[in-house]
Amino acid sequence: MMILWKLFATFAFIGSLAFGGGYVMIPLIDSQVVETLGWLTSTEFADIVAIAEMTPGPIAINTATYVGFRMAGVLGSVVATAGVVFPSFVIVMILARVVAHFSNSVYLQTALGGIRPVVVGLIASAAWSFGAKTLIDLKSWLVAAAVLLALAKTKINPILLIIASFGVGILFF
């Protein structure tokens, strides 16, 4: 029973601090789950993030669900997922009312204009942090560069790139 509370509290903490979306949560989840609590190794966490990226749904929720399952089975999955979603749900409900009430406010529009670049920075920080742990050799750098180039220069579906990278991993790693 204690592990369920710890799962909920850990992921609620992560969910309450991770402004900017799921990718921003990755370093926070890593910090808590790998470094602070020791529930997973860095390699296990990198594998979970890769799997969470390939499966439908938000990456942070998928990661929380997997960690919860790993620690306490199906109930752990439910509890960890609820924990990571709960703060966002409450904050969005409150902000929806505020934004609806002040939607024509110049101050609100200006504030949102200032927040958008921060989100880009937070996502870049998550990419940097995750990249430092997963881009460990020339092969991984080449795959990452090829995917980035394909995304930047074509309209290829990212799912196809994930599937192709899965195949490359099987063949060359």
Same domain, 60 and 113: yes
Same domain, 86 and 60: yes
Higher pLDDT, 149 or 58: 149
Distance CA 165, CA 54 (A): 11
Give the domain extent around 169. Answer: 135-173
Dihedral (CA of 22, 26, 32, 33) sign = positive
In this prediction, residues 66-94 reach a mean pLDDT of: 94
Same domain, 67 and 141: no
Q: Hey, what long-range contacts does 116-120 have (CB within 8 A, 24 or more apart)? A: 118/20, 119/19, 119/20, 119/21, 119/24
Same domain, 46 and 115: yes
Same domain, 96 and 108: yes
Tell whether the model's pLDDT for residue 2 goes beyond 80. yes
Same domain, 29 and 50: yes
- Please state the φ and ψ torsions of residue 7, each to the nearest 5 degrees: -60, -50
Query: What is the percentage of the chain residues whose pLDDT exceeds 90?
Result: 49
Residue 52 pLDDT level (bands cut at 50, 70, 90):
confident
In this prediction, residues 125-152 reach a mean pLDDT of: 90
Same domain, 45 and 62: yes
State residue 1's pLDDT score. Answer: 82
In this prediction, residues 70-76 reach a mean pLDDT of: 96
Higher pLDDT, 149 or 27: 149
- Please state the φ and ψ torsions of residue 41, each to the nearest 5 degrees: -85, 165
- Please state the φ and ψ torsions of residue 57, each to the nearest 5 degrees: 110, 170
Distance CA 116, CA 132 (A): 25
Distance CA 79, CA 86 (A): 10
Same domain, 170 and 140: yes
State residue 20's pLDDT score. Answer: 64
User: Domain total for the chain?
Assistant: 2
| 56-60, 65-69, 102-106, 165-169, range with greatest mean pLDDT | 65-69
Residue 4 pLDDT level (bands cut at 50, 70, 90):
very high
Token representation of residue 161: 């790139």
In this prediction, residues 92-111 reach a mean pLDDT of: 88
